[in-house]
Amino acid sequence: MKKIIIGDHIVKSFGVKDDQRNVLDGVSVEINEGEFVAIMGPSGSGKSTLMFALSGMDSLTNGRVIFEGMDLTEIGEKELSEIRRIKMGFIFQQPTMLKYLNIIDNIVLPSMRNNRKNAPKIAEKARKLMRRVGIGDFEKRDITQVSGGQLQRAGICRALMNNPKIIFGDEPTGALNSKSSEDIMDIFSEINMEGTALMLVTHDAKVAARSDRIMFMHDGKIVSELKLEKFNGKDIEDRINEVTVKMREVGI
């Protein structure tokens, strides 16, 4: 299986001299192309820090991150941001959108950079994605005129605009009620079935139950893993039970 990301003994410490703490304490991970990985663990265990490290958003204290064969710790910031923009998508708990732009302008903004010539094509793609995730009627709405779930869908559209190889999500359903959360997860499952790799940080067994593999973190280390069969839309209750049992075993 081809790897999309290899994290090799990643160390990330914060603080100075006498008061230094390894928030990531020698973490090694490998993510396959098209794989759906969930990261679980107690608050402060290093989940977000790991996501930032693997996506090249944050520098490492030690170790390496190899993305599609390229060592992200050895390339410049310009090249790195280009890789992030073209190959990666990001979705957070609270969608980060610009208040003075409407929904569709927020979605197309990152793609428009360096690419104004293609504006009509880009807008058409955005509309197609918006219809697909069920917000086709909201393109001209202000970001304050839609629900949390609709805004999160807009965030998904924005992350999908460049057909990324991998999407990183930090609690992407954390701010949603359970119905919206399920709808959003259906979209994620669909995207994954089309071949996009996913790495989602979540505390929710229902979200993790759709993944191929769950990594459990504790104090900056991956302490356990659970491999699941590829999700095919069936047996979700059994999967949730399996995840819940494992969470208890690991102590979260």
Ligand X SMILES: Nc1ncnc2c1ncn2[C@@H]1O[C@H](COP(=O)(O)OP(=O)(O)OP(=O)(O)O)[C@@H](O)[C@H]1O
Query: Which residues here bind ligand X, judged by CB under 6 A?
Result: 14, 23, 41, 43-49
**Minimum distance of ligand X from residue 202's CB (angstroms):** 10
Number of residues that bind Mg ion (CB under 5 A): 1
Partner whose binding site includes residue 43, from Mg ion, ligand X, none (CB under 5 to 8 Å by kind) = ligand X
Q: Quick one: DSSP state of residue 10?
A: E
Q: Quick one: DSSP state of residue 235?
A: -
Residues whose CB is less than 8 angstroms from the CB of residue 232 and which lie 6 or more positions away in sequence, other chains included: none
**Minimum distance of ligand X from residue 41's CB (angstroms):** 6
Query: Please, what's the largest Cα pairwise distance for the chain?
Result: 56
**Minimum distance of ligand X from residue 83's CB (angstroms):** 22
Query: How many Cβ atoms from other residues are within 10 Å of residue 69's Cβ?
Result: 9
Q: Which of 45, 150 has the CB closer to ligand X?
A: 45
Q: Which of 43, 114 has the CB closer to ligand X?
A: 43
Edge-first strand listing for the sheet containing 221-227: 88-92, 166-170, 197-201, 36-40, 213-218, 221-227
Partner whose binding site includes residue 106, from Mg ion, ligand X, none (CB under 5 to 8 Å by kind) = none
Q: Which of 22, 48, 152, 211 binds Mg ion (CB under 5 A)?
A: 48
CA distances for 176 relative to 92, 97, 131, angstroms: 12, 17, 20
**Minimum distance of ligand X from residue 181's CB (angstroms):** 17
Name the residues that contact Mg ion, by CB under 5 A: 48
